[in-house]
Amino acid sequence: MSSVSPTLFTLGVEEEYMVIDPSSKELTSHEQRIVLEGQKILKDKVKAEMHQAVVEVGTDICKGIEEAQKEVASLRQIVSTIAGDLNLWVGASGTHPFSHWQNQLITDHVRYNQIVNELQDAARSNLIFGLHVHVGMQDRKMAMHIANTARYFLPHVYALSTNSPFWEGRLTGYKSYRTKVFDKFPRTGIPDYFETIEDYENYVNLLIKTNCIDNAKKIWWDVRVHPVFNTVEFRICDVPLTIKETTVIAALFQAICAKIYKLRHQNLNFMN
């Protein structure tokens, strides 16, 4: 791997946090105050999400896992401090253990209003919190090859991240009920195999042409070639409780991509 460019396998980490009332421990709307205050410090690293009880953060492009860990730690500390100043808490888990989605407000935004109008209660009930890891790629052709092969590893890493057995006060019997909630959305789960990046792009264009979607971001698979960036994006995991857990999962996804890349340059694949 000594010939591999240092610009390969960069990392971007996105986490979705729950906003909690310190007294009741219920999810609560932060009325975008955490986002507004956070953007004064973090710019576009902190964003609103569909539900007002959710805050999303994302790192810059990180050269390696050590840098990613420092960024995640910094983002968590800043967002937690801002929330505390507003008499709120933030938490990390794939689902809240007892809050009901019917009581939570939807963010008034064109994109979210469109999704709710299209998917109705499937969207309103999608009160879940995930971890997304972007791994930088040489080009989209290589990204497609790696995404195809990485599908095999998704259940294994997913099993390490599961932390959402509760839903609306019930023990569901699932290690991660977050995934069962998200199953109601179309274009989720582990994707099919695409022979080439052109096949993938033709598929996306067909969905747009037939008015199934209006843009490629409405493909919510557990792994995807990102529609804009030259990254493979892993979306299957519950958001971890700790910084260390997030770091380990991000490092695993990065290592999987590097291994598949190395095998490709030896004219091999993992399944050979």
Where are the domains positioned within the chain?
A: 11-265
Beta strands 54-58; 46-48: pairing state: antiparallel
- In the chain, the amino acid numbered 34 is I
CA distances from 182 to 99, 178, 253 (A): 17, 6, 21
Structure pTM? 0.95
CA–CA separation, 49 vs 57, rounded Å?
10
CA–CA separation, 268 vs 151, rounded Å?
17
> Tokens 């199934």 identify what position?
212
Q: What is the mean pLDDT of residues 253-257?
A: 97
For residue 70, pLDDT over 60 is answered with yes
For residue 1, pLDDT over 50 is answered with no
Query: According to the model, what pLDDT value does residue 6 have?
Result: 53
Query: According to the model, what pLDDT value does residue 3 have?
Result: 54
The overall average pLDDT reported for the chain is 95
Our CA angle for 230, 270, 189, nearest 5°, is 60
Query: According to the model, what pLDDT value does residue 2 have?
Result: 45
Q: What is the dihedral of CA 223, 162, 246, 24, to 10 degrees?
A: 120
CA–CA separation, 254 vs 11, rounded Å?
8
If pLDDT is split at 50, 70 and 90, which confidence band does 5 have? low
- In the chain, the amino acid numbered 249 is I
Burial of residue 117 (CB within 10 Å: 0-12, 13-18, 19+) is: exposed
Which residues of the chain form beta strands (DSSP E)? Answer: 11-20, 46-48, 54-58, 89-91, 130-136, 166-167, 170-171, 223-225, 231-238
Tokens linked to 17: 């946090």
**Which numeric CATH code is attached to 11-265?**
3.30.590.20
Q: Is the dihedral of CA 242, 180, 151, 119 positive or negative?
A: negative
Q: What is the mean pLDDT of residues 65-90?
A: 98
Our CA angle for 225, 122, 44, nearest 5°, is 50
pLDDT digits (tens, 9 = 90+) for 141-194: 999 999 999 999 999 999 999 999 999 999 999 999 999 999 999 999 999 999
